[in-house]
């Protein structure tokens, strides 16, 4: 039996919910207060059998991010399950610097598969721990926002925040 803790915080972009396992790794997160929407981001086989409300270690990093310390989310561990390409892609997303978004084509090049633009977009779409694995930093060619599970308004505000606030170094 696996257990996880779920916590919802207020942020300037609306409620933000974090689902973390007992080791403090973020399993899923996003801009909603609906627990079901967070759990649905995980494959059924990867969902915890028990979810309890409580405090997560990741909550402080979210608060710090919104206070301007954009790198705070980088140190938070995540747990993701997927194909080798998905795992490689999710790790690559964590290396995209705030304020320096990539296009899906550039992201595919980083993954070593320049023609796999659809696969790159799919990696972003299947990313469960939003913000901690910053899929919002990938755009369509030409700079259009593309998709985002939590809405294009949230994606735009995140990108604007990251473009206008210098990342603080620890």
- Separation of alpha carbons 18 and 35, rounded Å: 9
- Separation of alpha carbons 52 and 49, rounded Å: 10
Look at phi and psi of residue 99 and say left if phi exceeds 0, alpha if psi is from -120 to 50, else beta: left
135 is catalytic: yes
- Separation of alpha carbons 15 and 29, rounded Å: 11
- Separation of alpha carbons 57 and 43, rounded Å: 23
Q: Which of 135, 138, 149, 159 is catalytic?
A: 135
Nearest to 93 by CA among 82, 106, 32: 106
Instruction: State the catalytic residues.
Output: 135
């Amino acid at each position: 039996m696996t257990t996880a803790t779920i916590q919802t915080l207020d942020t300037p972009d609306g409620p933000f919910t974090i689902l973390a396992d007992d080791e403090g790794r973020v399993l899923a997160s996003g801009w909603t207060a609906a627990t079901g929407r967070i759990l649905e981001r995980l494959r059924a086989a990867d969902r915890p059998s028990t979810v309890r409300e409580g405090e997560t270690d990741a909550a402080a990093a979210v608060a710090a991010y919104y206070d301007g310390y954009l790198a705070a989310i980088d140190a938070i561990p995540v747990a993701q399950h997927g194909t080798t390409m998905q795992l490689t892609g999710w790790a690559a997303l964590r290396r995209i610097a705030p304020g320096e978004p990539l296009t899906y084509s550039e992201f595919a090049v980083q993954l070593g598969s320049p023609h796999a633009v659809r696969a790159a977009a799919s990696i972003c779409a299947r990313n469960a721990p939003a913000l901690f694995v910053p899929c919002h930093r990938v755009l369509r060619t030409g700079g259009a926002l593309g998709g985002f599970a939590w809405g294009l308004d949230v994606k735009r505000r995140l990108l604007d925040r990251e473009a206008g606030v210098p990342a603080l170094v620890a």
